[in-house]
Structure 1
Amino acid sequence: MITDIVMLRHGRTSMNLERRLQGQIDVPLDIIGQWQVDQSGFALAQRYYWAKVSNIAAHPDLLPHTPPQAVRDVEASEYTNAPAAARTMHVVCSDLFRAQQTAHAFADILGLDVHLDTRLRERGFGEWEGMTREEIEARWPDDFHAWKRHRGGELAHGVESRRAVGGRGAAAIRSYVHDAQARPGQETLFVVSHGSWIVATIATLMGMDIEQVSGLDGMRNAFWSRMGLETSPDGERWLLAAFNEGPQIAQYVDWENGPAELRNPDMPMWKPITA
């Protein structure tokens, strides 16, 4: 039974840096994005270390073989008898490569498999994919401003609606919850996806009006949110435990631009959108 869901956004890409709408374009992390997901991966692996113990308990063959000169064998029972063995973690990920890189930065530390799912892809931005906001505004000013005001101006250009993204994401999460009901013990679902997808999915599961401008803020690169799930005969209750949370190091460094020693001389500085 799934009782806890973690949703992690992918790290920075070159198109993020250029402030282009990526949508479902398959673009890898840049060097700063890889640094971001490594930092978040380390922090989350510390928090969820129990998942490594649980995975070894389920697959004792993952333990190293004891060399002949060792005075004792590795004790698999230490893992199978640990309280952590009673809980499991399942890692699922958008099939776009930037999300796969992000998922492995966490899962590989704990020895967990990553399962790809096309339902976790980012919002499709139609003919606007690959364009900057300035380029879109110059070509379609009315539709651009209607989009910014959550009035659907983007829909004329093949952009997936916020409501459709949230419905797609919520349906995927609920399918994982349904499939886990028959399995014993409690599970944590670890989801690696994209900013618009995560915000829309959380809003939908929480029963929020996804078209409200005053809804949830956007997710930062390589930051995560957590949801709890309570089920009863009366139905399900979704709880938002944390939103847009990052590793401690993000409080002390320029997170969006990364350490100076990683920035190439010709790399522009990331700047926030001010309008």
Structure 2
Amino acid sequence: MITDIVMLRHGRTSMNLERRLQGQVEVPLDIVGQWQVDQSGLALAQRYYWAKVSNLATHPELLPEAPVAAVRAVDAEEYRKAPASQRTMVVVSSDLFRAQQTAHVFADILGLDVHLDPRLRERGFGEWEGMTREEIRERWPEDFRSWRRHEGGELAHGVESRREVGERGAETIRSYVRQARDVPGEETLFVVSHGSWIVATIATLLGMDVDAANGLDAMRNAFWSRLSLEHGADGDRWLLAEFNHGPQIAEFVDWENGPEQLRNPDMPMWRPIAG
């Protein structure tokens, strides 16, 4: 039974740096994005180390074999008897490559499989994909202003509505909950996806108005949010336990631009969106 859902956004890409709408365009992490997911992956792997123990308890064949000269064999019973073995974790990821890269940094540390799901893809931005906001404003000023006011001007360009994204994401999460309802023990669902998808999905699950301007802040690259799920006779209750959290190192460095030793002389600096 799923009781916790962690949602991790992918790390920075070159298109993030250029402030282009990525949507469902395929683009890999850049050097700073790889650093970001390494930091978050390590922090989350420390927090959820129990998932490695649980996985080994279920799959003792993954344990290393002691050499013949060893006075004792590796004891699989230690893993089976550990309290950690009583709960499980499943890692699912958008099938877009930047999300896959992010998911594997975390999952590989714990020896977990990554299951790809196209339903976790980012919001589709139609003919605006790959464009900067300045380019969109120049070509379609009225639609751009309507989009920024959350009034739907983007829909004329094949952009998926926020409501559609939220419904797609919420139904995907609910489908995982239904599938695991009869699985014994508690399960954590670890989801790797995209900024707009995560915000819209959380808002929908919490019953918020997805189209309300600034209902939830935008997710930062390689930051995570967490929902708790309470199962009751009257239905499921969703609680927002964490939103837009990152590793401790993000408090002490320029997270969006990474440490100086990663920046080449030709790399522009990431700047917040103004206006």
Q: Which residue of 2 aligns with 1:156?
A: 156
Q: Which residue of 2 aligns with 1:241?
A: 241
Structure 2 distance, partners of 1:214, 1:56, is 43
Q: Which residue of 1 aligns with 2:266?
A: 266
Q: Which residue of 2 aligns with 1:26?
A: 26
Per the TM alignment, residue 246 of structure 1 is displaced from its structure 2 partner at its CA by 0.1
Q: What is the letter of the counterpart of residue 3 of structure 1?
A: T
Q: What is the letter of the counterpart of residue 15 of structure 2?
A: M
Q: Which residue of 2 aligns with 1:140?
A: 140
Q: Which residue of 1 aligns with 2:191?
A: 191
Structure 2 distance, partners of 1:231, 1:125, is 35
Between 3-12 and 62-71, the greater mean CA deviation after superposition: 62-71
RMSD: 0.4
Structure 1 distance, partners of 2:63, 2:253, is 37
**1:23-75 Cα distance to aligned partner (Å, 9 max, x none):** 00010000000000000000000000000000000000010011011111110
Structure 1 distance, partners of 2:217, 2:253, is 21
Q: Which residue of 1 aligns with 2:95?
A: 95
**1:216-261 Cα distance to aligned partner (Å, 9 max, x none):** 0000000000000011110110000000000000000000000111
Q: Is 1:4 aligned to 2:29, yes or no?
A: no
**How many aligned positions are there?**
275
Q: What is the letter of the counterpart of residue 17 of structure 2?
A: L
Q: Which residue of 2 aligns with 1:105?
A: 105
Q: What is the letter of the counterpart of residue 193 of structure 1?
A: S
Structure 1 distance, partners of 2:60, 2:221, is 35
Structure 1 distance, partners of 2:212, 2:183, is 37
Structure 2 distance, partners of 1:195, 1:204, is 14
Q: Is 1:221 aligned to 2:221, yes or no?
A: yes
Q: Is 1:179 aligned to 2:201, yes or no?
A: no
Secondary structure of the corresponding residue to residue 272 of structure 1 = coil
Q: Which residue of 1 aligns with 2:169?
A: 169
Structure 1 distance, partners of 2:183, 2:241, is 24
Per the TM alignment, residue 214 of structure 1 is displaced from its structure 2 partner at its CA by 3.1
Structure 2 distance, partners of 1:71, 1:272, is 59
Structure 2 distance, partners of 1:223, 1:95, is 19
Once the two structures are superposed, the pairs formed by residues 50-89 of structure 1 within 5 Å of their partners are 50-89=50-89
**1:196-231 Cα distance to aligned partner (Å, 9 max, x none):** 000000000000001111300000000000000011
Structure 2 distance, partners of 1:217, 1:194, is 14
Q: Is 1:44 aligned to 2:7, yes or no?
A: no
Structure 2 distance, partners of 1:274, 1:72, is 63
Structure 2 distance, partners of 1:264, 1:118, is 34
Structure 2 distance, partners of 1:84, 1:92, is 20
Structure 2 distance, partners of 1:122, 1:214, is 19
Q: Which residue of 1 aligns with 2:35?
A: 35
Consecutive aligned runs of 4 or more in structure 1 exceeding 4 Å deviation: none
Q: Is 1:256 aligned to 2:259, yes or no?
A: no
Once the two structures are superposed, the pairs formed by residues 109-124 of structure 1 within 5 Å of their partners are 109-124=109-124
Per the TM alignment, residue 182 of structure 1 is displaced from its structure 2 partner at its CA by 1.7
Aligned-pair identity in percent equals: 78
